[in-house]
A and B are shown apart, each in its own frame.
Chain A
């Protein structure tokens, strides 16, 4: 008999997935099932927390906005 597990399917780039797996390892238990390089299932209740942590993790990776010169 097959089993059905409630969760949220996450679809993302392999790099992002690696970060999620890393966050999960730090004792957070997000992941229900690791599906493949670009997919995994996480717990529904942890989604907001996961998004927050991912944002914090990636904050440093973006360049600041180009300087605006429209002071016309």
Chain B
């Protein structure tokens, strides 16, 4: 059954009204960030071409630029540009061909961003005060990592093995915990007697009837995301919470625009808090809690963006990959002092899991968190100093799927954390790392439990003519929203509705 994902920046932006975009685009840093982060290559090409065009361009001229077989890409690019309110296209009419042009604010801001100049301060104002030499990039990375890992630990610990929870020490601030709860990444659930029994068997301790924090489907998806997406997920939760609370001075558009500005700052440099507006200064404490910025205790007039902030809008997997993100989550707070060389250094940590063809698992680890993660999808039965053993069973995989973990996620986790010995043996014999039987069986177990695939969306029906049907279904297919169709019955199902509605209106006007 389809797992509910966590919200992404693109989903959030798509739901914003046009006025939000017009305000966002007043800031060159926001326009630039959206250009950099949100657009596919073809859309970027269009924007760059339009940027210095004095007149609107004829829509049909676009066909000259794009090869006929890339029509699908073109339509997708255009629909993204329109949904982000970057490009305006005039409605079709008989006496005038359709024209396209860049949104005025966006055009002005992007030009400013590229050429420099102007007095917009939207790329931050460096602090003129002397900087403490102890605050270097290493220091900032350490700060960011400590804060961010506290958050990840909190989510992992919510799996409920109290042995792990006891080791976690100081978690994130209460406000951050509330955000995670509000975003349903974790939730309070009453422990059933069955689960208490299960916890006892896997070495943990839970009392029936007690209410305990539990990871949710969304929470697990969150854990497996790369750091950049995780940060955005949390920030969007924050924006939503601020919007819902309707706190004075916390304007979500301004907040978003501030985040885009942070993303444009330079790592390792001090910036001036005095140059910020009052509401933005009020945002700083929360951003410190997330690990996006650092403010020296003795000098609150300076703030330093960390790597988490400066990579917000870059498309590259900035901090670390999924697997090393997991490693960070599972490394345990005690061990993180050992790898202080920067956030990216995690990728070289060693795998520890051996999987046998008989579904037995041996993990050379003593990290309570890694054990907690394993307990999500294995039946653990022995624990030694520095090693646990367990077994993958139908039941354990079923439970994992109930948590919202997919078979592919389990397989990916086991592969990336495979013990060196397994990797070496596999490479020597030219085989895949995990035994194929085990991989297949995990997938089969998932299929057994996933009896139906659910896709929310809209069903289109009652077409009067075949042409009308064909026309709309082709458009749906080209924009990539079509999920299912039946030409005979003139029925089709789409995942999104808005663009089709626009299209229908356009056709009607003709």
Contacts and interface: CB of A to CB of B under 8 A. Distances in A.
A54 B501 CA distance: 34
A70 B452 contact: no
Contact of B454 (A1, A35, A47, A65): A47
A54 B462 contact: no
Nearest to A10: B452
B456 A3 contact: no
Nearest to A55: B451
A33 B455 contact: no
A44 B495 CA distance: 13
A26 interface: no
B393 interface: yes
B457 interface: yes
A2 B459 contact: no
Given A5-B461, A8-B454, A70-B381, A65 B497 contact: no
Interface stretch (B88-96, B285-293, B483-491): B483-491
B505 to A, nearest CB: 11
Contact of B484 (A1, A9, A13, A62): A9
Contacts of A13: 451
Contacts of A65: 393-395
Contact of B462 (A3, A41, A44, A58): A3
A4 B459 CA distance: 5
Interface string A31-69: 011011001010010010001001000100010010010
Contacts of B500: 4
Contact of A33 (B1, B452, B456, B491): B491
28 contacts: A1-B462, A1-B464, A2-B462, A2-B464, A3-B462, A4-B501, A5-B458, A6-B457, A8-B455, A9-B455, A10-B452, A10-B453, A11-B452, A11-B453, A12-B451, A12-B452, A12-B453, A16-B452, A20-B452, A32-B459, A41-B459, A54-B452, A65-B393, A65-B394, A65-B395, A68-B379, A68-B391, A68-B393
Interface in B94-115: none
Contacts, number: 88
Contacts of B456: 7-9, 44
Contacts of A68: 379, 391, 393
Given A2-B468, A70-B391, A35 B448 contact: no
Interface in B357-414: 360, 379, 381, 391, 393-395
A20 to B, nearest CB: 8
Which 10 pairs across A and B sit closest by C-beta, in order of nearness? Answer: A12-B452, A11-B453, A9-B455, A4-B458, A5-B459, A9-B493, A3-B462, A2-B463, A8-B456, A16-B451
B460 interface: yes
Given A6-B458, A8-B456, A68-B393, A62 B448 contact: yes
Interface residues of B, number: 36
Given A4-B497, A7-B458, A33-B459, A58 B391 contact: no
A54 to B, nearest CB: 7
A8 B395 contact: no
A35 B486 contact: yes
Given A2-B463, A3-B461, A9 B483 contact: yes
Interface in B245-297: none
A62 B447 CA distance: 13
A9 B457 CA distance: 7
Contacts of B381: 70-71
A24 to B, nearest CB: 14
Interface in B64-107: none
A68 B358 CA distance: 11
Interface string B453-481: 11111111111100011001000000000
B454 A54 contact: no
A58 B468 contact: no
Contacts of B484: 9, 11, 35, 39
A10 B459 contact: no
Contacts of A35: 484, 486, 489, 491, 493
Contacts of B459: 4-5, 7, 9, 32-33, 41
A2 B472 contact: yes
A32 B501 CA distance: 21
Contacts of B483: 9
Contacts of A32: 459
